[in-house]
Chain A
Amino acid sequence: MSDLLMDAANNLNNESIREWKRAGNRVVGYTCSYVPDELFFAAGILPYRIRGFGATEATIGDTYFGPFICSLPKAMLQLAGEGRYDFLDGAIITPGCDAMRRLDECWRKAGEDIDGIVPKFFFHFGVPHKYADYTLKWFVEEIIRLKTAVEKHFGVTIEQEKLLDAIRLYNRSRDLLDRLDELRTCEAPAVSGTDALAAVLAGTAMPHDEYTKRLDGFIQERKSNAVNYRGRVRLMLVGSASDDVNLVRLIEGDRVVVVADNLCFGSRFQADRVDESGDPIQALARRYLARNDCPRMFGEYESRLTTLMDKAARAGVEGVILQNIRFCDLHGAENGLFERDLEAAGIPCLRIEREYGPLVETGRLKMRVDAFLERIWQRRKAS
């Protein structure tokens, strides 16, 4: 994989960001995949998915959040408090879940104690929890509200043609990610799950035009490469936000290949396309709100199960790892239902509750994955 892609996937303030900032450009961070990146790209602003990756303690996170809170927003706050997001010119908080919603107050209040950690542009983006004509109308208005605020704060104009260009560019990268997926899900996977996650993550942390070129190059390189992961146990990774390639690396070791995922930092990012005809704001709203893959969209379990089953069948997975960060009730509860339904369909599942962060539970996780692999090997022998 290109060093630049790997760097973007593994470093918060990566080389692409530094170069972007050196050129006098702005970066706006967001916490949830329901924020339309295209809007920012069209404004000449780099949209950046805020992560908790790299936090090594929770002293600041625990000061503001209570104890019974998922460690992902705590890690994000920790990094912000340590000044590691100082390169952000703006931040957008969405009601992705209860804990993520409260990052709003916790970040602002931490900013009263630690100077300069709250970006000057700080915006609450209201995303409905269901798809209907009136929720779509609300979401369209919300995108317009965000657009207006960005234009006013940063002194830019988001022109319709530029927005359409951005939509086309992001659709192109989604097409490429689909091609990457084909290399991953085929009988002899040419791409590991670790590299696939890194490839998606990089797209959330570097200028998208550059990213698309690099991604294309990576796909060409893998296509011509003879190396593959045939024979390994084929697993799928599902559940809570997971932006640490090391978690996938830990699962894969030298016996597994993660051939599919359904993570919001992972392949969910490439699902669907934005309609390139008609009003771009309407098109963005339809794509971002209608993509009901996150359990925050209540009452859509059946469609998410169908998506999961389709992905599992397409990738020929032998087992599914359903993981959730402790206190992530949404994914945790849905994983319980997935486990019931996937097992009933003959797909072995491993349900893991974990902490987000610097893989402090490596031994425990590895042991559970190993036990799961034994189950799958026994099935292989029996078949």
Chain B
Amino acid sequence: MTAHTKPVSRYTTAARINHWITAVSLVLLALSGMALFHPSLYFLTYLFGGGQMTRILHPWIGVVLAVSFLGLFLRFFMLNLWNRDDTVWMKNLGSVINNKEEGLPELGKYNAGQKLVFWGQSILILLLLGSGFVLWDTYFFSYTTIDQKRLSAVVHALCAIGAILIWIVHVYAAIWVKGTMSAMTRGSVSGGWAWKHHRKWFRQEVGKS
């Protein structure tokens, strides 16, 4: 007998739309930002209609991302608060990477890795937004000194690289852990997936119905 539960709902339609607006903006920001960061990648400006257009569009996409990410933050920050199980999970990160999750604490909706992605992006996006305004000469040139702009350029580039690295981890985790992607495409995961990766959350979900 193959016992399959019905899919477990993980994300509402609104949360998914919110996520994908953030995702698309982040990719566009990374492409346009890298184009202006490294001369070897300047050709990426063609995707945005040339250098001037890239310079004009990048900060506006940044505003879209900031607003959109704020939505994600408000939706999920309560679920991303750190607890003792997360510390245990982090100590056993080696086993997780080796596909050996057995024996780890039962987890709520998010594991420690997901929580670190969440908080990492929250902090970096805040810094990127702040330093981004300092670099947005079209509207904000007169509000800061040139030295502050120089510092902002370094902070902005550093945080952007950090955010791109976290993004790579985030995307790779979704590819590596099979059954994850449907959470953000159709909004649900299989019972087995929920049982395997987020057992405490799964028990709560089935308890509700």
B is bound to A: no
Hey, which bits of chain B sit against chain A, CB under 8 A?
Answer: none
